[in-house]
Amino acid sequence: MFLIFQEPSQIPSFIYYKINEEGIYEINNNNNTKNDIKLKIIIHKDIFLNISNLPNFCSSCIESSFVFIKEISEFFIYFNDDFFVNKEYSSKVILLKKWSYEFI
């Protein structure tokens, strides 16, 4: 799972993170207990080709930069900050066939 932020100051205080030697933000559990969260923090400057276009709050521009997230899957589910799931749905068939998708 990826959380994408404009800048590090937007990361909520309840998410404990550290920056590794390569400058990558990693989740860091401050309680010294096993951390099974598979979560990676992405900052816009790491996925935009031209950082002179930042800051950018245009969803289309941000979404078009997903291709530069190295670990992203070919198929993924995307939630924006204004998206709410308001009914149950089956996760069995989200992808109908290659390059086809279903609006939920």
Q: How do residues 4-52 score in pLDDT, each as one tens digit?
A: 999 989 988 888 777 777 777 777 665 555 555 677 889 999 999 998 9
- Return the domain boundaries, the chain: 2-68
CA distance 63 to 4: 10
Instruction: Give pTM, 2 decimals.
Output: 0.69
Task: Give the side-chain half-sphere CA count within 13 A for 45.
Answer: 6
Distances (CA, A) of 11 to 17, 27, 40: 9, 11, 12
Residues 21-47 as b/e (b if ≥16 CB within 10 A, e otherwise) read: eeeebebeeeeeeeeeeeebbbbbebb
Residue-wise pLDDT tens digits, 41-50: 899 999 999 9
For residue 65, which of 39, 97, 57 has the smallest C-alpha distance? Answer: 57
